Amino acid sequence: MAYQTVNPYTNEVEKTFKNTSDEELEQSLATAHQLYLSWRNNDQLEERKKVILKLAEILRAHRKDFATIMTKDMGKLLSKAEGEVDLCASFCDYYVAHADQFLSPDVIATTSGRAKVIKQSLGILVAVEPWNFPFYQIARVFIPNFIVGNPMILKDASNCPASAQAFADAVKDAGAPEGSLTNLFLNYDQVSKAIADQRVAGVCLTGSERGGAAVAKEAGASLKKNTMELGGNDAFIILDDADWNLVEQVAPSARLYNAGQVCTSSKRFIVLAKDYDRFLKIMKNAFSKVKMGDPLDSATTLAPLSSKKAKDKLQAQVDLAVKNGAKVYYGNQPVDLPGQFFMPTILTNITPDNPIFDQEMFGPIASVYKVDTEEEAIALANNSSYGLGNTIFSSNYKHAERVAAQIETGMSWINDGWASLPELPFGGVKHSGYGRELSGYGIEEFMNKHLIYEPRH
Ligand code: NAP
């Protein structure tokens, strides 16, 4: 497997990275394990907080440089990549501000004696991360676990090696001890070998169902705690009392942000029959106005997809949908640009027997469904093997919340597209995975919640 930056706008190979040898992997595990022991034996939380504050400073000071690296790796719009760097810096602020609270012991109420749960690190984590938010995905797991005292071995996506290295270098520049975050260019066998290693305590993966199942199997075989943040086929439900100005403002970008390559992009738009034509027109109008071009240029509004492989896969999925009865309401035309662009596309008439019905399409494809009732909308939203997020539009909050509670997902957003903030737990149910990242829930995933108990005699 080649770790390469192939710029998806120019198609040029910008840089190739050398694979990690087995010896380098062993050395990295040994270093990380020593660090784990040293942190366990003398806390050093205050030192770790200082490193994270410094990391925030470095991220903010070099946001454009970091953003440019991400844009060259996987094609996202530079302005959005800059926003991603800022968001990572906000994770630093949040976990430093709340570190004492998250790590302080819980006193357990018992009349039988005295009991408390202390919060301890577990050991080395193997993090397997994707390319769609190159810095954010690493930050989401690295920052809280560094605060806890879990060193991390990172295996990032093979198409964004420069971003992974830049993040790891920033952590080093912030003063983190060697072994805190080790970015390695591992093949799949080496990932399995690392997971099975006795010194490794846990595994976190963000990626596809296929990648998640493969890595979870390895984690399960050696009984390693793991979290899986996988794909989604999020519904966007417009209730009969929706504010249509807001719908118009939000719906197109809920699908097109990051060229549609977001796990929580709204992918299935579920609309009442009376509003169906109006909604299609809104989407078509917005989709026809995008400006494709150089993602480094601030005038560009739709970036290329991350790679030729991603574009070919998406085209095959659209072809499959159409072959099985879906109608193209808009788009699906070739784009006359050398980069990996995909024209924003609106599909309708997708029936449950269409194989695409239960597949995630990772790109600018909106599937629009017509329903007669709210109950039908809820049933359709739940008719999915995924359960990551969903969006509900209603001008009555209570109404929206009632509907949200009936959707089998990990996250529901009301009157907006998806959101990710440091204090909001992120994760799904069903084939979208298990476990949570960010917030207090996320930092707890790889903690030893260690009971200390003395009965009354
Ligand atoms: P992917 O193919 O599963 O890759 C994700 C990571 O897993 C990459 O580092 C990949 O390495 C690695 N990987 C895959 N198979 C592996 C194996 N057998 N052993 C070890 N490592 C393995 O996912 P993707 O298609 O690139 O990423 C997009 C997917 O991620 C979408 O489904 C999206 O919805 C999901 N996602 C989920 C969330 C969430 O929070 N739930 C967030 C973002 C993205 P290579 O690159 O070397 O193959």
What is the position in ligand 1's atom list of the atom closest to the CA of 306? 26
Q: Are strands 345-348 and 365-371 parallel, antiparallel or unpaired?
A: parallel
193, containing H or E segment: helix 188-196
Q: Which pLDDT does position 1 carry in this prediction?
A: 66
Radius of gyration of the chain (CA): 23
Sequential pLDDT tens for the chain (457 residues): 699 999 999 999 999 999 999 999 999 999 999 999 999 977 899 999 999 999 999 999 999 999 999 999 999 999 999 999 999 999 999 999 999 999 999 999 999 999 999 999 999 999 999 999 999 999 999 999 999 999 999 999 999 999 999 999 999 999 999 999 999 999 999 999 999 999 999 999 999 999 999 999 999 999 999 999 999 999 999 999 999 999 999 999 999 999 999 999 999 999 999 999 999 999 999 999 999 999 999 999 999 999 999 999 999 999 999 999 999 999 999 999 999 999 999 999 999 999 999 999 999 999 999 999 999 999 999 999 999 999 999 999 999 999 999 999 999 999 999 999 999 999 999 999 999 999 999 999 999 999 999 999 9
Q: Which pLDDT does position 197 carry in this prediction?
A: 98
Q: Which pLDDT does position 354 carry in this prediction?
A: 98
Q: Report the CATH architecture of 3-230+432-455.
A: 3-Layer(aba) Sandwich (3.40)
Catalytic residue from among 84, 129, 218, 229:
229
Ligand 1 centroid to residue 239 C-alpha, Å: 33
Please compute, for residue 65, the number of CA atoms within 13 A of its CA located in the half-sphere on the CB side. Answer: 9
Q: Which pLDDT does position 14 carry in this prediction?
A: 95
Mutation probe of ligand 1 site: the residue of 230, 258, 439 with most atoms within 8 A of C-beta: 230
Report the predicted TM-score, pTM, of the whole model to 2 decimal places: 0.98
Do residues 121 and 447 lie in contact, with contact meaning Cβ atoms separated by under 8 Å? yes
Q: Mapping DSSP to helix (H, G, I), strand (E, B) and coil, where does residue 52 land?
A: helix
> Would you list the domain boundaries of the chain?
3-230+432-455, 234-421
* 454 in active site: no
What is the position in ligand 1's atom list of the atom closest to the CA of 437? 40
Which fold does the domain 234-421 belong to in CATH? Aldehyde Dehydrogenase; Chain A, domain 2 (3.40.309)
Ligand 1 centroid to residue 348 C-alpha, Å: 28
Tell me the β-bridge partners of 5. 15
Our measurement of the distance from residue 348's CA atom to the centroid of its chain's CA atoms, rounded to an integer in Å, reads 27
User: Cα torsion at 66, 67, 70, 75 (round to 10°)?
Assistant: -160
Do residues 411 and 255 lie in contact, with contact meaning Cβ atoms separated by under 8 Å? no
Tell me the β-bridge partners of 120. 448
Helices (H), 383-438: 397-404
Residue-wise pLDDT tens digits, 237-246: 999 999 999 9
Mutation probe of ligand 1 site: the residue of 19, 76, 84, 128 with most atoms within 8 A of C-beta: 128
Site residues for ligand 1, CB cut-off 6 Å: 1, 128-132, 155-158, 188, 191, 206-208, 210-211, 214-215, 229-232, 263, 360, 362, 388, 426, 428, 432-433
**334 exposure class (CB count in 10 Å sphere: 0-12, 13-18, 19+):** exposed
Residue-wise pLDDT tens digits, 267-317: 999 999 999 999 999 999 999 999 999 999 999 999 999 999 999 999 999
